[in-house]
Structure 1
Amino acid sequence: MKKNWKVGELARLTGLTVRTLRFYDQIGLFSPSGQTESGHRLYDAADLSRLHQILSLKELGLSLEEIQAALTEGKMTPLEIVELQMERIKERIKLQQKRLEQLAYVSKQMQGEAPLTVKDFTDLLQAMKRELEKPVIERRTSWGRHLDALGHFLAADNGRSKSEEEKNDE
């Protein structure tokens, strides 16, 4: 038997809000596969798979527009998305492991009452700084992409306006 979920059930199941799911539907990113007779949205297992892809790409830092393009243009398969997630997690684990080793070293030095060098502290501070800067850099990059897209849109719109003006002048 095929299981279907209403929007509220899907929201509780996934931890998203009903508002978010409705917004995704409004922009054409994630639409339900069915409806009840009374017009309530119904989602099935295939919809859950698509939602997983959307949330995975969002977690990787893509904008909603980029996610929609990737999914509709077939640029990424579900398997590629899962593999990207795995790589990202492995990268985080590696960085966290390195930081854990640095902290363990410092702890051992402190327990032995050995003096910590300036390099010990700067290594720790650099690791912390990188961790704090990463979200800022990702946000900056995302804003840059948005501004570029806006610039292209405005340039295209400006080109249309000029051609319309030329037509009106004739």
Structure 2
Amino acid sequence: MPKEWKVGELAKLAGLTIRTLRYYDQIGLFSPSGHSVAGYRLYGESDLSRLQQILSLKELGLSLEEIKSVLAGDQLSLFDIVSLQMERLKENIRVQQKLLSELENVSGRMQRNEPFTVEQFAEIMRVMRLNHEKFFAERKSSWDLHLDRLGEYLDDNPEEPDKEEK
């Protein structure tokens, strides 16, 4: 018998939020292959394969609309996808190397007790901002996951109605 997962189970398995999976369903990117009698979304093994494709393309930096288009028309070849990933990694390495170079420059100036120009300070801040954008996006995703889990808990454990005071 094929395995099926509810939306919360699939979210946990894939490291996504329930909100993300519901949004993907809403925009027609990733819909469940079935529903339970109670109306819960049910995802099967074939759905996992599609979700893996979506996440891989998203990791490459494609927008959700681009991913939808690729999956509908298979517009990118495997070579194109690998090439995009290589370019993305090269860009990440370039940003990290630039940040390292700027920090080494700062360290050297500090050791020599040399002052910083406004332009040098601005450049360091710009490079650091680029480096930290990914970190903050990952933190937001983590918070979304925690909020979804809290929402699930509250849905599963509603408060008892207030008892009348005597």
Q: Call closer, same or farther: CA 1:46–1:128 in 2, change over 3 Å.
A: farther
Q: What is the match of residue 32 of structure 1?
A: 32
TM-aligned CA deviation for residue 72 of structure 1: 0.5
- Amino acid in the other structure paired with 1:49: S
Alpha-carbon shift at residue 71 of structure 1 (Å)? 1.4
Asked if the contact 2:99–2:127 (Cα under 8 Å) also holds between the matched residues in 1, the reply is no
Tell me the residue number matched to 1:72. Answer: 72
- Normalising by structure 2, we get a TM-score of 0.58
| Between structures 1 and 2, the one with greater helix share | 1
Relative contact order, higher structure (CA 8 A, sep 6+): 2
Return the alpha-carbon distance in structure 1 between the equivalents of residues 73 and 16 of structure 2: 25
Identity %: 55
Match of 1:167 in 2: none
Q: Kindly tell me: are residues 37 and 117 of structure 1, through their superposed partners in 2, closer, same or farther at Cα, counting changes over 3 Å?
A: closer
The separation in 1 between residues aligned to 2:15 and 2:124, in whole angstroms, is 32
Give the alignment of 1:8-157 within 5 angstroms: 8-36=8-36, 39-77=39-77, 80-81=80-81, 83-111=83-111, 113-116=112-115, 118=117, 122-123=119-120, 125-126=122-123, 128-129=125-126, 132=129
Q: TM-score, normalised by structure 1?
A: 0.57
Q: Where does the alignment leave 5 or more consecutive residues of structure 1 unmatched?
A: 136-170
User: Cα distance 1:39–1:117, how it changes in 2: closer, same or farther (>3 A)?
Assistant: closer
Query: Deviation string for 1:8-52 (max 9, x for gaps)?
Result: 111122332223312322332112234556554333444233223
Q: Secondary structure, in 3 states, of the residue corresponding to 2:42?
A: strand
Per-residue deviation, residues 143-169 of structure 1 (Å, max 9, x unmatched): xxxxxxxxxxxxxxxxxxxxxxxxxxx
Gaps of 5+ in 2: 134-166
CA distance in structure 2 between the aligned counterparts of 1:46 and 1:72, rounded to whole angstroms: 16
* Aligned pairs, number: 132
